Amino acid sequence: MANAQGGDKRLYERLLKELAPVIEAYVRSRFGTLTFTEDCVQECLLAIHNARHTYDPGRRFRPWLFAIVRNKTVDLLRRSYTSERARAERAVHAAAAEAAAPDPAAELAAGEILANLKPQFRSALMLTKIAGYSVIEAAAHSGISETAMKSRVRRAIRAAESLLNEERDSG
């Protein structure tokens, strides 16, 4: 990163290519599924690019990097994120899904963070942020009102952020 600050493109390209799978592994291990992970990796790379002027070469790189990764992950969760790929996949498998997968949330591999959330929070996040359900669809699937689902999603994101912060604070 210090070389990148000086404008060394070759080393910067190598750095970004090495960081991408590291970020992907980190996000996947905590939140699971692929479509959300890829968007997160790209957002993180962009944020690293935009924040490179703040990195102090005299300090450790890892805390700087993962502060950005954690922040961007939570940012992405907060946005009204609808994965077009997830929706397209659901549309293709819609008929089979109804019969074979009555609980889509259970199908998706839960990452470490999701696994540590309360079941209702985990389900809310996985339906709305990862499987691409709208709030109305997720509420109908869960048998609760739209308002209740919105509240549940907000609280789920706060809980996930809290778990990420605990993880950082414990080293």
Partner 1 sequence: MTRNREDLIANLVAELEPVAKPGRVWLDAVVWLAAATVYSVAITFALGPLRPGALKDLGGHPLFMAETVLAATAIVVTALAALRSAIPGEPRVGRLRWLLPLAAWVSVYVVGLAHPPAYVSSLGGRFECLWQVVLVSLPAFVLFVLFMRRKYPLWPRWSGFLAGAAAAAIPGALMQFGCMYVPEHILTHHIAPIFLTAGLGALLGPWVVKARGAAAHRSEGEQQLH
Contact with partner 1 (CB under 8 A) among 25, 29, 56, 145: 56
* Residue 7 binding partner 1, by CB under 8 A: yes
* Residue 80 binding partner 1, by CB under 8 A: no
DSSP string, 38-99: HHHHHHHHHHHHHHGGG--TTS-HHHHHHHHHHHHHHHHHHS----HHHHHHHHHTHHHHHH
Stretch that binds partner 1, among 50-58, 87-95, 104-112, 124-132 (CB under 8 A): 50-58
The residue type of 75 is: D
* Residue 45 binding partner 1, by CB under 8 A: yes
The widest CA-to-CA distance across the chain, in whole angstroms, is 57
Look at the block and give the residue holding tokens 């790929």.
85
Instruction: Return residues touching partner 1 (CB under 8 A).
Output: 2, 4-7, 9, 12-13, 16-17, 20-21, 38, 41-42, 45-46, 49-57, 59-60, 63-68, 71, 165, 168-169
